[in-house]
Structure 1
Amino acid sequence: MINIPTAVFSLVVLLACGVSTVTCGKHCKYDKKGAKWTPCDPSLHVRTKTVPLRKGRDGCPPAKIITRPCKTGIVINNCLYVPVSSWSECDPTTKTATRTLELRKKDSDQCDYNEVESRDCDGKGSKRGKHDKKHKDKKHKHRKGKKGKEKGEKGLKTGKKGCRYKKGPWSDCDSATKQQVRTLELKKGPSTCKQEKVQERKCRHKKKGHKGKNNKGKKGRKGKNKKKGKKGKKDPDDTPVAPPKLTEMRVWPLASSVEVSWKPPDQGTVRGYQIGYGISIPDVYSVEVNASVLHYSIENLEPEQEYIVSLRARNKAGLGSPLYETVRTGRAEASGNSGQLLLAPVGVRAITVSAYSIVVSWADSSVLKLRGGVEDTTGKVYTVRYMQLNHLSKDDKPKFVMRNTTESLVYIEGLMPYTHYEFAVRVSQGSARSVWSMAVTNTTFASVPSSKPADFTADIVRSDPTTVTLTWQPPDEPNGPITGYVIFYSKDPILPDDAWAASAVNGNRLSTLIKDLDPNSAYFFKIQARNNVGFGPITSPVTVTVPDVLPSAPINFSSASVQHDPSAVMLKWQRPEKVLEPITGYVISYTDDPNLPERSWAIQAVAGDQLNNTITDLQPNAKYFFKLQAKNKAGFGPPTNPISYTIPDVPPSVPRALTVEKSRKYPCAVVISWLPPLDMGEPIIGYIVLYTEEDALQWAAEGIKGDHRSITLRKLKPHTTYQFKVQARSETHLGPSSPPVSYAPDDGLCDSNSSLKPPTDLRVIVLSSNSAIMSWRDPMRGIPYPDGKSDAASTYTVRYGPRDNPASHTYLNPPFPSLYLVDLNPNTEYEFSVRLNRENRHSSWSRRVYNTTMEAAPGTAPVNVTVTLAEDDPTVARITWGPPLMPNGRITGYLVFSTTRRKQPMSDWQVEGVHGNTTSLTVRDMMPNTKYVFKLQARNAKGYGPMSMAVTYKTPKVYGGTVEDVTVRTSSEDPYSAVISWQPPSNGRKRIAHYIVVRKDVEADETVRMQVPGDQLTVVSHGLLPARSYAFTVQTKFRHASGPHSAPVHYVVPKELLQ
């Protein structure tokens, strides 16, 4: 074959120097300054100019034509190339696109006729083969000089500008992955530099002479490198790979020649091809051609002979596997006839122009051969056929479409977006017609979706009526990979689309949940698909009416015994977690036979929002079962799970005929007597007498053993009303107490202070969270002393303090019957009392008065703030804390502040609220290997408290990439089981110990974790519930580290499988 640029150069030399024997050389001088270069010839990629003869011998031509390549192009290893094809589609395996470059200027023998240029699919950077890389490396090495450091030395500089790293030792070779790993620690650099980096390489085996502390190995390497010159040591990663085997070759025999054409391999690097042939024996003769040549004519063959033709691809590693074809040449008379033979076009290329058009071009290798070697090119017609290869319906079959043209290029329009097509060309001239050429394929560009998502439905979630499940199917005409969907919803369908609320669904998910909708409201939903090009049309709205929401089941339902009444049980609970409508009451159902239908259970109603109730008159030694339901205006919510409580044996009943009399033997004493209970119950071993002052909360107790039924109580306060009651006791129980009996001792000889009456009408008015006013009436005012003195010297003693801590009471001595108190604690119930003082005598304490100060903002910050790793996920942390020591009221929530920059203003920190008295929070979507700072603040009805101390937490590192292609499908054996499958991370080189598959019930917030061995890529999840939405994620686990979680894949048990 004749290379076109070589032929042009030869023609120019003939024109300039002629065909005579006169030497065109140093004796001919031409004027090159005055001439101008012509514009670049796009077909030959050269420029020319004609220069006149300035001086020389008689044999010198009067003018000379000079040519040079055009300056436009790509220089690789001093070889000029120009692109001859557009960028290919992205290879999903290598994440790169490629295009072919053709040689235009050759300065060395190392130039190949074509090169393959590659770039990342995102268009960042390009790779133009090893020649270009070596050429750039030499420039950098020359510019760096002696100060340059090779990769791996101390002070390694990698990544961003100014980031210097210190190398660590290489790890041992992993027998499974054949990889070695080492860690690079940041030595110096700006804050944008990563603290650590991980390098990987193929295992390298140490050679002799490299071990030991001497420098023999290094000297040996230096000497070896010095012999090699600039080439240096060969990197094991650059080991060449043999070219792939060709898959398609066509052969056309003539009388004295054979035409060979072939299709290049889809993958691998090819620098050329070798064609071999011989009579009955392969590879007797061989010819090599460049990689851009896809056909060859083997000339000067013997007629009527059987030839074996072979074809091999060639690259730097050598020759690939051969492809053989046996062919027999024609008779010698055939070349003398006027018969004609047309060869199929070669070099067919399909270049995508848009989403709807592709340009097909080719080269005509068909030469119509006549007698005498005359070429006839008139009347040629090219037929292009093409057909669609994908996006066909079940009933449609691929059909060819034909286009005729007289040019070597055709512009095919009216194609479908993102569709794969096959193209082939043949040539015809008169009655002669070639076979079809090698078929080529290409895909049109993507376009915005031209159809709406199908089967769009909206259903209320049974367990949460304020949540709607939306499901759909992909559009029939996506016109490219679907990258997500946009959900629109609104209560008013007349509003424009931009006024509707929007929710994005990423990836290829076909369902989502819309939560927290308003009860008793009608909502309208629409959806549109999107791909990398843009958004498709929006569907018509579907309507869902959110009903009135029943309350969920109360939580923390528990039972407890009732003091002094063993036949009763105290039931306690807390409000439902999700309350959208006010609770109007509760219903308690109970029975001692759980097998009875619920309609036969006893019922007790609890009005309002009361959170406890007592069930009395239960049978002794019986086990009862209790359920609880909440009620609002929409009706009754679901019941709780039943709890049980066993009523103990019957204790002794109430003692009878309790009497209290004044003691005749002791002053300020009483004698209490009673009769035994009628219903004895368990044997009585004694009695307990309880007594207290009127309005007091605590009762004093006196025990009596045996069968004694009376007791004398001494040292009682005069003019003070007491209440007395008695209860019997057995070995295991206390019986119920008798009705209280009141009695007030009036003996004036009990106390020397009995003539002084205590103050009365004590009142306490709370003014704020820390202040109150006390006032009382002095009953002795106006009554003189026994010696006749006035009451001017009367004083008072005020006693007050927290009701639950009598030991911390405070005493004050005001001169007037009122007092202003300050420095009280907020939201604290206080006990107040006062007594009268005259000289050295004082009255008894007045009646106690209780009052509670107003609430105030929390006085202290939350305590014991801790942050720990959660869910074994480096991107999830759990924060726990304790309530403030001084809440100053009922805590209604907390604010959690977080940041990765401690010095930034608090207004720029991220804030997340926690409602109620919950003291924990799970933080997600955190950045791995990042230091976070957390602060907490409590709040009540009066405001926010102070900020807690900052707590620092650093998230662990994440190794490896994300698990890819996670899919969930229904098990063919059980509709309540799902099969989860995935692919390992494409960029992962570490050995995976195992996988963690997490199944989360979105509605019940329950999580199930499954451990899967590292060599397994699928698992079955059993026990799924109908009408429940589940989210599945997969995470890689290495020996000492974890990988990130995959994006959640949602799954709902299909309704049609449950019918």
Structure 2
Amino acid sequence: KNHRGTWQSCLFSSFLLVVPSAPPQLSVASTSPTDIRLTWQPLTSQHSRGAVTRYRIDYSALDQKGTVFSVELRGNETQLTLRELRPNQVYRLRIAAGTAVGFGVPSEWVLQQTIVLIFAPSELKVRTRVTTLNVTWQPSPNHTLVSGYKLSYREAETDGFSIRDRTSHALTVRLRKKARHHLLTGLAPGRQYEVRVWAFDKQKDGAAAVWKGRTDKIHVKEPNMTSIRATANGSTSIWLRWEKPRFINVRIINYTVRCSPAGTTNASLVSYYTSSSLEILLRGLRPFTHYELAVRSNGVNTAGPFSSTMVEATLPDRPSTPPEELQLRALNSSSVLVSWRPPLEPNGIIVSYKILYTVNLSEPEDEWRNLSEGGGIFSVEVHGLSGGTRYFLKVGASTKVGSGPFSPVMEVQTPLSTYELDIHAVTGIIVGVCLGLICILLCMCFSFRNGKPRSVFTLYACFLF
């Protein structure tokens, strides 16, 4: 025999004895949309052929066979969870056991698909009544994969008792795949409930949509409050008084007053006040504004209807803001056009505007010259000014209560005076000179005709006399 060949044969035989002869039996399962769990049993001594010191897990996406990832574990491990995988993706996996010499034959590829993520139902809405909750929802985005829906509900508050003392266990209802609504009945009035709706398939439950809210309170039907009187107490307050409702058997604890600017559709502008007496002074209102007012009575865990709405206006006040958009334009050397817009918050009917102007900004305000215009006028010409002069002007508005703030001071420069010819005087001079020349010519002609030439001075003297 060839000595070199015999050595190779022995080495090959020795390798077969120390490498596991079979792979472990592999079990796989997807536990979430991004996880796959692998488990296996240790090899028997017959197949391990020595001490198993490590395991190697190979895996790749089925559509990316060229990219294989490997994970090595110690020999005493029997499970592994692969994480951060792609949902609804098929993966192939295999395992090989190894000794200190190397790894044995790997197992056959095993295919496993990560589970599909089931999204929560959308647009979960609950319509509350005294003892019922009408629950509606829209399907999950991937609703074609679901087998049906589940709905659970429970009371979500304790009212001073522990959750263990209060029956707050969730009750679950199983619904069909086509279900889009469910009516919960037999609930307690005025209680807070938690409602959950989620889709499920044959293997798992999806994410849940959650709603929390109260069933309606029981309202005692009592007659509307009719004896309500409102009186303006000033520009920012209104007195509201009423009488206790008659013919009711409920002990009234307090009253709720609803107040809002007349005609508003903005819920944020509606205010509510509580009073334990039969009157309330509503403060912090806007001047010269109409308000809609209503009152209702409240008992223990009950509330009556609001009364019919009445309207009352606060009194006027001085303007809170000055006239806006003040503009100045010099018309000529002696006049300026002043224009403006009404105040943003007039707090009443504007009865007049005052225009103050001066050439010296440091003068006291009472020494400024002024003009007054009616409340319906928004421009005026200021005359009698000096040419080539800088003027400072401001405008203020007034209601019947008083004057508001003046606008910021603005300045304007009048142009210099220019010489203007008197057309009538110039025309008279020209006509006079022309007549004089004509007379001189006539005199000269008359003198030459008589044969007595005279000097121009003599002719001019004749013309004068």
Q: What TM-score results when the alignment is normalised by the length of structure 2? A: 0.47
Which structure's CA Rg is the greater one? 2
Structure with the greater relative contact order (CA < 8 A, sep ≥ 6): 1 or 2? 2
Structure showing the higher helix proportion among its residues: 2
